Structure 1
Amino acid sequence: MELSQLIRARRSIHRFEEREVSLEIVKDMLDTAVWAPNHRMTQPWRFVIVHGEGRKRIAEINPKGKGLLKSDPEKAKEAGTNFYHKMMNVPMFVIVVMKENPVIAIREEDYAATSCVIQNFGLLAWEQGIGMVWESYGFMHEAAFREAVGVQPGEKVVGSLHVGYAAQVPNPQNRVPATDRMTIIDQA
């Protein structure tokens, strides 16, 4: 498939087959994905891969039930069970972590570069027939999640990539053509 076709065909996948993704394939894709543009070559990223029984570390966090514990323990239990099953239905998580540079301009450049790595990874996965969605849920900034996956002080979780073989591929959503949002300056 040509790159332009691959970009247009890629979808965010939320439902996965009950089939594992090869750790070796994911490692290879990440080794290629890091060839993203990176001003200053800081290469601020690192990856935490969570799969198999390790998924329980994320599934047992239960952020949705904690706020309900006192007011409605039954609802809290139900929310926790639903969250647990939702997370355990993800075959593999690739947590993308970025070192936060104290200089804001460099930190923003690093965030952009890390986002490019994620996009590269998503395209490489799609090319291999593997689906992915880039999640950035609020609880990934909380201590329980950070501790569960080993995020250190001075690091930012850029995203949790849910990786697996697609059980369902959504239809494409329309995009506004770039030409509709383009300004061309051709005079001084």
Structure 2
Amino acid sequence: MTNIAKTIRERRSIKAGYIDKEVTQETVLSLLEDAVWAPNHGLREPWRFIFVPADEKEGFVEDLVKTFPPDMRDNRRNYFSQPAAILVVVMTEDPRQKQWDENFGAIGAMIQNFQLLAWEQQLGVVWKTNPHIYDPKVHELLGVEKGEKIAGFLHLGYFDEVPPAKKRTPIEDKFSVYGK
């Protein structure tokens, strides 16, 4: 198995169990420098990023939980406080369906690149697309403009325990040959 195939198969989404180790801006920028080499039609580079480092996270979480109903705030405060840092991925939307789809495909490829590169450094990532990414109050908080969408929050943190692999459907069950 090649190194890249091994990394693809071993990478896991790290959703919890983060250790007390800072995720630095320099690390995130370094990972992004390579991750953005993802295929993207017309080199539109349909992304921008908002990094929430450890020293800003508490204030960010307090501002973010205010966008939730009062009965959800404690739960959301706990949820958003777990990762060491958060990277918000913002996508340029295009009114043309084909270009919108291409942009979202590019975002997915870039995020996968980021996750694989982070995994090589034992930095855990999980791509979150919870309902708050559609909330106009969250868009306002983050300065998301008209013509942009939040593609997701990437929760970042170093970890000690690797979650077990989850079974995949055999590829033969998802594969067909045209005309046969």
Runs of 4+ with deviation above 6 angstroms: none
Deviation at 1:90, TM superposition (A): 1.4
How many Å separate the matches in 1 of 2:68 and 2:134?
A: 17
Deviation at 1:80, TM superposition (A): 1.6
| SS of 2:12 mapped into structure 1 | coil
Conserved in 2, the CA contact under 8 Å of 1:100 and 1:156? yes
How many Å separate the matches in 1 of 2:12 and 2:158?
A: 12
Matched, 1:43 2:55: no
TM-score (structure 1 length as normaliser): 0.86
Matched, 1:119 2:112: yes
Q: What letter corresponds to residue 126 of structure 1 in structure 2?
A: W
Structure 1 stretches lacking a partner, 5+ long: 70-75
| SS of 2:145 mapped into structure 1 | coil
Conserved in 2, the CA contact under 8 Å of 1:62 and 1:84? yes
Alignment match of 1:169 (pick from 158, 162, 165)? 162
Deviation at 1:40, TM superposition (A): 1.5
Matched, 1:144 2:137: yes
How many Å separate the matches in 2 of 1:58 and 1:105?
A: 35
* Aligned pairs, number: 177
1:2-13 aligned at under 5 Å gives the runs: 2-13=3-14
Alignment match of 2:64 (pick from 61, 75, 84)? 61
Conserved in 2, the CA contact under 8 Å of 1:60 and 1:84? no
Q: Percent of pairs identical after alignment? A: 34
1:79-94 aligned at under 5 Å gives the runs: 79-94=72-87
| SS of 1:21 mapped into structure 2 | coil
Q: Which has the larger radius of gyration?
A: 1
How many Å separate the matches in 1 of 2:66 and 2:9?
A: 34
Alignment match of 2:35 (pick from 29, 33, 36)? 33
Conserved in 1, the CA contact under 8 Å of 2:23 and 2:54? no
Alignment match of 2:25 (pick from 23, 38, 41)? 23
Aligned to 2:93: 100
Matched, 1:154 2:147: yes
Deviation digits for residues 57-112 of structure 1, max 9, x if unmatched? Answer: 2444337951xx5xxxxxx2xx3223212212211111110111111110110100
How many Å separate the matches in 2 of 1:178 and 1:63?
A: 44
Deviation at 1:167, TM superposition (A): 4.5
Structure 2 stretches lacking a partner, 5+ long: none
Deviation at 1:19, TM superposition (A): 1.4
Aligned to 2:177: 184
Q: What letter corresponds to residue 122 of structure 1 in structure 2?
A: Q
Conserved in 2, the CA contact under 8 Å of 1:64 and 1:83? no
Conserved in 2, the CA contact under 8 Å of 1:62 and 1:83? yes
How many Å separate the matches in 2 of 1:6 and 1:122?
A: 10
Deviates more, 1:34-43 or 1:113-122: 34-43
How many Å separate the matches in 2 of 1:81 and 1:31?
A: 36
TM-score (structure 2 length as normaliser): 0.90
